[in-house]
Amino acid sequence: MGRAALTLGVVLHLVEIGTNCVQARSPVSSTGDAMSFVAFIAALGYLVASYRYRLATGGAFVVPGVLALVVLARVAPAEPGTLSLGSPLGRLHVFLSTVGVAVFGLAAALAIVYLIEDKRLRQRRFSGTLGKEAPLATLDRLALRCVSVGFPIFTLAILTGALWVARLGAIAGHMSLRPEYLFALATWIAFGVLLLARIGAGWRGRRAAWLTLGGFASALLVLAGYFVRLVT
């Protein structure tokens, strides 16, 4: 029932994005659009996964998050700086970081579910029946998959971002360092360390989940930075 509603929402969203694309407007041509696009990717990813795995609790985190983003995207004022996004490099950067953040968002949702399930099983609080949620190993594996898909995308986003900032700096004659750049770097480092530790040292479970959450929080700070700048 809830899933059917979410499916409908995602399809409608896709129609909107598709319409924009037909009108030669990139899905990420403004901050609002970008946030809405993040929501779309996250909802789509969750939806696809939920048909294969039991992810009831996951939905409880993904869906409100998606809703909040969509609402924020609607209230975001139209971009004064849209012009600067006009360059292909800028558009590519925004697109890549949007997709990257959305995929990290899914990893974070899985991490939250993992932590809840882990706690429930360790403390043996078995309210109701077992079997409502996917196994821990599955949650862990899916989260790893999200991070390993998201990381290369986000890496490219950082690179294009750096190039773009450098080019804008060259045009303006000076470089402005914003706190967002720092958070973006922190995000990249967090997920990089996570991937290395998982593959290299067999990190998994709770520690990996917390690190995922840390990385995603930092990514959210980047978005928040843009949003605050936009509103003020």
The residue with tokens 């360092």 is 177
CB of 216 to another protein, least distance (A): 22
CB of 103 to another protein, least distance (A): 21
CB of 129 to another protein, least distance (A): 5
CB of 200 to another protein, least distance (A): 12
Nearer to another protein, 33 or 133 (CB): 133
Nearer to another protein, 136 or 182 (CB): 136
With a CB cutoff of 8 Å and minimum separation 6, the contacts of 222 are: 97, 101, 180, 183, 184, 187
Nearer to another protein, 50 or 218 (CB): 50
Nearer to another protein, 181 or 203 (CB): 203
Tokens matching residue 163? 């190039």
With a CB cutoff of 8 Å and minimum separation 6, the contacts of 36 are: 13, 27, 69, 70, 73, 74
Residues that bind another protein (CB under 8 A): 117, 121-122, 124, 126, 128-131, 133, 135-138, 141, 201-207
Rounded to an integer, what distance in angstroms lies between the CA atom of residue 110 and that of residue 141?
10
What phi-psi label fits residue 125: left (phi over 0), alpha (psi between -120 and 50 degrees) or beta? beta
Nearer to another protein, 205 or 225 (CB): 205
CB of 135 to another protein, least distance (A): 5
Tokens matching residue 89? 């490099």
